[in-house]
Chains A and B, each alone.
Chain A
Amino acid sequence: MGGQTPSVLEQTDRERLAAALLRQLSIGLSSYRLFPGELEQPAFKAAVRRIEKAAQDALEHGPVEAEVLGDHFELSGGVGVSDEITDRLARACYDRQAERIRVTAVPQPADLDVLYEVLSGPVEEVQQAGGPEMLLRRAGVLSVALGELAPQRVDVQELLGQREFEAYVDRWPQLADAIRLPEDVASEASPMELAKALFSRLRAVVAALPPDASPAVDLFRALQMAVASLPTDQQHLLTTMVVAQAGRDSVADGFIGTLSDTELSRLLVQVAQAEEVDPVRLAERLVARGSRGSSLIELTRSAAGSAAKEDLLQGLSSVLAPQREADAKDPAEGRIVYETVSDLLGRTLLDREQADLETLRAEFPDDEDDEAAIATAAIRDYFMQDDDLPRLEQVLANWTGAVQRALRRADAESVARLASLLVGARADAATGPPERADVFARHWLQAPYSGLLLDVIAEAKSSGTTESLVNLLRPLADAAVEGLLETLGLVTDVNDRGQLFKFLGELGPGNLEPIVRRIRGGDWERVRDAVAVLHRCGGPDAARLLEEASHHQVADVRREAVRGLIAVGGTAAVSRLRELALDQDEGVRTLAVNGLGGLVTVEAVAALAGVVETADDPLVRRTALEHIGRHPGPEAAQALERIWRMRGRGVPRSLRRLARRLLRARRGRR
């Protein structure tokens, strides 16, 4: 812009964007009030996004500033912004005595949190806490500012306006002097006398002015300015008198006639506070005298804050309550009051109707996913709280059926949703009575049973979707592992078993319980399968369990355990592998010594050397020695040399020679 006056078009665009920003800020306020302080609410987050976009657009034309005029805004160019959405924001500002709003940067969610908290807080509390401007500043909000009404300064501004007193604008100090009472007079008179005297002087001033000037608006603006410059007590008394005389005296009418409803409503509140009267009554009196339209009542009520609202509503309640004696006394008066109030109520509800409907419609479950989300949350709570075991059994049987149907459909989303229903309840039940825990555990584990899984896997194979089976089963965690282990026991085809091992290898980590149960069970084939699964799962728990399984009495199990220890045990498994290299089963021995040979650690060399020195099986000893020979580390050479030199200490000559050959070969290689 370069400081130039914007063109008419630019101006229009700027105002449109500013109005759009105010509208989004107002919608954001409505969202915030639904869940105050909950910035992660989807509706609020969406509102923040829209505010950011609107702010970016509007701020391209510079800061956005709007004046709050009671129930609507006026932009800096004098253009009014008023619709049912922006008016809500204006009213919220107005109620908290924020007379302008200024946006200088794109507001961040934290800024909006503070802004909306201020605009949602009880009016009195906001004022007691220092007012909206102070609250925002204190919270470090720089992007948005709310201008606070400073009573003295604003009284002048309010009473003067900005534009309409050219003719008398220079005269108001003289007018003020003419109205002001000398101090000695003021100090001796009663408030009523003072008020009458001031009003009389005001009338005299008007009368003294040229006849063509008296009806002019600018005269009264100048008079207002003059009054605003009087000492506070005189200013107040005169204003009170003007309000009291309104509708009866032309000067009083002229005086308040130039005030907008908004300005007048604030004036009435100030007068009423000082005089300890109900400002709404003052407004009603002015309306009844024909000085103002009925909207003054509503504005004054709003300006007076929630206390006045309650008074009025209590009035409504008393008017409508049939048992109250007061109604019987004067029902007609009651009717007028409730009609007024019900019209206000109607207007309030109508004003908010659209926003309310939009709010509720937006939150109401819109599709099956929304409905499922609501149902899921509730059913989780139901499972946590129902302690009627027979019914729980039946509901859980339904749950099992639903899971099984979802598995057959390969509906991963439904499986996940159904599984999530029991997560909290199972954990909770586990700490409660054992019968309840058992009900949950039983149904959970039964859901993916082996026969079903065979069908599901067969279907996945035929449709080429086996890859997605793990995702389908993952939400069922240990139940899926249990089911797959059962299935493993039914399958003999090597490829099919391989596939199951693959699934189990992916699902097992974190769900070792069913595997552990099997390892500690009696049927050695089931134990063997479990051990085979375990070493595909890996992890420290797996290593520990494999070591446990390596003590199993059945050699087949021990062989699987050795394979597992080699795969997942690492250095920690060396000592057990060394023991297993001396196992009574040849297969175990061979696997163990080869396993040690595959490790490149110092400990592995030491273990192999131990095997060479102590094993009974010559083949194992030889194999161990050959592994040492292939080991790349210097410790291997040292071991070979030591074995070579072990004459008469239990190492056969053939092995010592082999050790020497291997040593020479290593040196030759170097």
Chain B
Amino acid sequence: MRPPQPPREAMRTSRAFLGSLSAAHQTYRLYPDGHPNRAEVVRDLHARARSLATASRGDAVVFCTRHSFYLGPSLLSRESLSLNRLIEAFEAIGLEAVEILTSCTEADIDGFARTLVGERPMGESLGGVMLNRVRPELDPEDNDLQGLLNLLRSYAIGLDVLRETAEKVVAGEDTDLDATRRVVSGLATQVARDPSQALLVSAVKSYDEYTYYHMMNVCILSIALGHSLGLRQDQVATLGLGALLHDVGKMRVPREVLNHVGPLDQEQWRLIQRHPVEGAGLILLNDQDLIDPAAAIILEHHAAFDLSGYPKLSGRPRPSLPARLVSVADCYDAVTAKRSYRNAEEPREALAILQSGVGKGFDPVVVRTFVRLLGLFPVGSLVMLSSGEVAVVLRNHDELFARPTVRLVLDASGTPCAPEERDLSALARDGSYVWSVERSMDPTELGLDMLSVILQGEPEDEVESEGGLVHEPSFGEAPPPGYVDTHEHPGEGAAASRLDSEVSAPFGA
């Protein structure tokens, strides 16, 4: 029996509360007692806290456990990913539960914020904000969830490392390559433990922090690809490091270009297209030994299989294999993310785009291996079953590509339902299949937040946001308006490379 879930409005207001709390935490660390900035954030946080208490129809409890935030029994997945520093602050003082009473005052909120930065002992009573009065109750035996939460934690730490890297890059300071290596090492271990789960997490997207999430996802996809090739752990780590940092050069692209709304001019595109060289430069700056294969991945990930991309490479017929692997993962993740100028493509469509670029942008063998890894219905994608139910793909069948294991999200009437797992290769007594996939689905079509679907097994409304960084389109991806294509396309219009006819194209473009 599943515990009662909090109202949807409470979930939304809890997110706003945690966002505001994170801002307050930063402000309290930066400004002394009595500073007007503190008063300002307290006012905002108090308003959010009251909204949360009201929406919860009583007293709201936010838990922080297993390195994740929960509202009651419901995981606040996106906040668990994006507010890693706040989680660490909770963990530093041993804070596991914050209970907001409807009677809470601004003074209580101020006390709470001061507790969070260590200015005030945990034990002192706050009146309208109760700390650690209740304890979270989670199923300790749920290994799948535990694995997923560990992965989530690594993901969150990775995001933080990337944010710090960005800050240092912008400030012209040295970046900490060892920290990124640790992130990759942690991810590699977790991917090796359960590749399907890792692929599931790689379906997480963020519109606002597109680049960081994208870098994390490409890292996970590349590590999973490396793992599926049977590479050694050190080889996977090399691949993962390059993948994690493949877009680090974008951090040197001026913010006004990345945040630009509307068509970019040629010079602005040139700046964006410099990011592989910028990125390689940043790595070489920070690597004393200089000879770092990650630099090759970063420099070459847009060079294209037939070298028609950028920057121009010399003296070799192809980009290096690690770069070719990362470029496929890069395209797949980029295409499946929502951009300011287009909706996210379905995973299946993304695979079709990859296939259309075989022999030109992408290595045919790598694409085949990638398709084999992800399957016809990639892990993390949504499908409609023959029963009319909607489910998320959890794992692929080794041989029956159309018969993955899925987890239900919506019932046939479109209502959220219990996250039951179904193995679509299961046979009925008469030898026929019990369930089949009817078609693949676009989560935006249903307005679902895939992160909550993936992590909690239950759908939530898509988080609305604005802005989003300009993204350099991958090979085959629909370019944004005004895009200036600097690729060379030798033999365009003619039959694709000789390899193409031999690559049994798994998907029509």
- Nearest residue (CB) in A for B442 is A322
Interface residues on A, range: 35 or more
Tell me which of A150-158, A313-321, A451-459 binds B: A313-321
Q: How far is the CA of A331 from the CA of B445 in the complex (A)?
A: 18
**Interface pair B506/A313, CB less than 8 Å apart:** yes
Known: A34-B365, A320-B439, A364-B235. A374 touches B296 (CB 8 A): yes
- B95 interface contact, C-beta 8 A: no
Tell me which of A137-145, A381-389, A482-490, A575-583 binds B: A381-389
- A334 interface contact, C-beta 8 A: yes
**Interface pair B508/A316, CB less than 8 Å apart:** yes
Q: Mark B470-501, 1 if CB is under 8 A from A, else 0.
A: 00000000000000000000000001011101
Known: A332-B386, A359-B365, A361-B229. A398 touches B290 (CB 8 A): yes
Chain B residues, CB < 8 A from A386? 277, 280-281
Q: How far is the CA of A392 from the CA of B280 in the complex (A)?
A: 11
Q: How far is the CA of A417 from the CA of B291 in the complex (A)?
A: 9
Chain A residues, CB < 8 A from B300? 378
- B502 interface contact, C-beta 8 A: yes
Chain A residues, CB < 8 A from B501? 121-123, 306
Known: A346-B400, A375-B291. A122 touches B495 (CB 8 A): yes
- Nearest residue (CB) in B for A363 is B321
**Interface pair A365/B235, CB less than 8 Å apart:** yes
Partner of A388, one of B238, B281, B315, B508: B281
- Chain A proximity of B446: nearest CB distance (Å): 11
Known: A92-B502, A310-B505, A335-B437. A385 touches B311 (CB 8 A): yes
- A349 interface contact, C-beta 8 A: yes
**Interface pair B506/A349, CB less than 8 Å apart:** yes
- Nearest residue (CB) in A for B386 is A335
**Interface pair A399/B290, CB less than 8 Å apart:** yes
Q: Mark A406-417, 1 if CB is under 8 A from B, else 0.
A: 000000001001
Chain B residues, CB < 8 A from A424? 314
Q: Mark B248-290, 1 if CB is under 8 A from A, else 0.
A: 0000000000000000000000000000011011001101111
Tell me which of A66-74, A337-345, A526-534, A553-561 binds B: A337-345
Q: Mark B213-238, 1 if CB is under 8 A from A, else 0.
A: 00000000000000011110001001
Chain A residues, CB < 8 A from B441? 322
**Interface pair B277/A385, CB less than 8 Å apart:** yes
- Chain B proximity of A117: nearest CB distance (Å): 8
- Chain A proximity of B353: nearest CB distance (Å): 12
Q: Mark B295-330, 1 if CB is under 8 A from A, else 0.
A: 110011000000000011111111011100100000
- A187 interface contact, C-beta 8 A: no
- Chain A proximity of B50: nearest CB distance (Å): 42
Partner of A394, one of B231, B285, B318, B502: B285
Main secondary structure, interface of A, reads: helix
- A379 interface contact, C-beta 8 A: yes
**Interface pair B293/A365, CB less than 8 Å apart:** yes
**Interface pair A38/B317, CB less than 8 Å apart:** yes
Partner of A377, one of B238, B277, B284, B296: B296
Q: How far is the CA of A386 from the CA of B249 in the complex (A)?
A: 12
Q: How far is the CA of A38 from the CA of B502 in the complex (A)?
A: 18
Chain B residues, CB < 8 A from A178? none
**Interface pair A36/B499, CB less than 8 Å apart:** yes
Q: How far is the CA of A374 from the CA of B96 in the complex (A)?
A: 48
- A327 interface contact, C-beta 8 A: yes
- Chain A proximity of B384: nearest CB distance (Å): 8
- A418 interface contact, C-beta 8 A: yes
Chain B residues, CB < 8 A from A398? 284-285, 287-288, 290
Known: A343-B402, A345-B376, A402-B290. A313 touches B295 (CB 8 A): no
**Interface pair A382/B295, CB less than 8 Å apart:** yes
Q: How far is the CA of A505 from the CA of B314 in the complex (A)?
A: 34
- B440 interface contact, C-beta 8 A: yes
- Nearest residue (CB) in B for A126 is B501
**Interface pair B506/A375, CB less than 8 Å apart:** no
- B401 interface contact, C-beta 8 A: yes
Q: Which residues of A from 382 to 438 have beta carbons under 8 Å from B?
A: 382, 384-386, 388, 391-392, 394-395, 398-399, 401-402, 414, 417-418, 421, 424
Known: A92-B502, A360-B321, A375-B296. A346 touches B399 (CB 8 A): yes
Tell me which of B9-17, B131-139, B366-374 binds A: B366-374
Partner of A378, one of B238, B296, B321, B509: B296
- Nearest residue (CB) in A for B319 is A378
- B393 interface contact, C-beta 8 A: no
Partner of A402, one of B278, B289, B442: B289
Known: A36-B498, A378-B300, A398-B285. A322 touches B290 (CB 8 A): no
**Interface pair A395/B438, CB less than 8 Å apart:** no
Q: Which residues of A from 30 to 69 have beta carbons under 8 Å from B?
A: 33-36, 38, 41
- Chain B proximity of A77: nearest CB distance (Å): 30
Chain B residues, CB < 8 A from A378? 280, 295-296, 299-300, 313, 320
Q: How far is the CA of A335 from the CA of B376 in the complex (A)?
A: 13
Partner of A331, one of B346, B366, B401, B438: B438
Known: A353-B372, A375-B291. A346 touches B504 (CB 8 A): no
- B189 interface contact, C-beta 8 A: no
Chain B residues, CB < 8 A from A10? none
**Interface pair A121/B229, CB less than 8 Å apart:** no
Chain A residues, CB < 8 A from B506? 313, 345, 348-349
- B292 interface contact, C-beta 8 A: yes
Chain A residues, CB < 8 A from B288? 398, 401-402
Q: How far is the CA of A92 from the CA of B503 in the complex (A)?
A: 11
- Nearest residue (CB) in B for A357 is B229
- A380 interface contact, C-beta 8 A: yes
Q: Which residues of A from 95 to 148 have beta carbons under 8 Å from B?
A: 117, 120-123
**Interface pair A349/B502, CB less than 8 Å apart:** no
- Chain B proximity of A344: nearest CB distance (Å): 8
Chain A residues, CB < 8 A from B498? 33, 36, 117, 120-122
Chain B residues, CB < 8 A from A120? 498-499, 502
Chain A residues, CB < 8 A from B53? none
Partner of A356, one of B277, B289, B369, B439: B369
Q: How far is the CA of A186 from the CA of B280 in the complex (A)?
A: 77
- B348 interface contact, C-beta 8 A: yes
- B341 interface contact, C-beta 8 A: no
Q: How far is the CA of A334 from the CA of B506 in the complex (A)?
A: 16
**Interface pair B284/A382, CB less than 8 Å apart:** yes
- Chain A proximity of B241: nearest CB distance (Å): 11
Known: A120-B502, A313-B506, A374-B293. A381 touches B299 (CB 8 A): yes
Q: How far is the CA of A335 from the CA of B437 in the complex (A)?
A: 7
Known: A327-B439, A345-B376. A382 touches B229 (CB 8 A): no
Q: Which residues of B from 429 to 445 have beta carbons under 8 Å from A?
A: 436-442, 445
**Interface pair B285/A375, CB less than 8 Å apart:** no
Chain B residues, CB < 8 A from A374? 293, 296, 320, 322
28 cross-chain CB contacts under 8 A? A33-B502, A117-B498, A309-B505, A316-B508, A319-B439, A322-B346, A322-B441, A327-B439, A331-B386, A335-B437, A338-B376, A342-B402, A345-B376, A349-B371, A349-B401, A364-B229, A377-B315, A378-B295, A378-B296, A379-B280, A380-B314, A380-B315, A382-B277, A385-B312, A386-B277, A401-B288, A402-B290, A414-B291
Chain A contact residues, CB within 8 Å of chain B: 33-36, 38, 41, 92, 117, 120-123, 306, 309-310, 313-314, 316-317, 319-322, 327, 331-332, 334-335, 338-339, 342-343, 345-346, 348-350, 352-353, 356-357, 359-361, 363-366, 371-372, 374-382, 384-386, 388, 391-392, 394-395, 398-399, 401-402, 414, 417-418, 421, 424
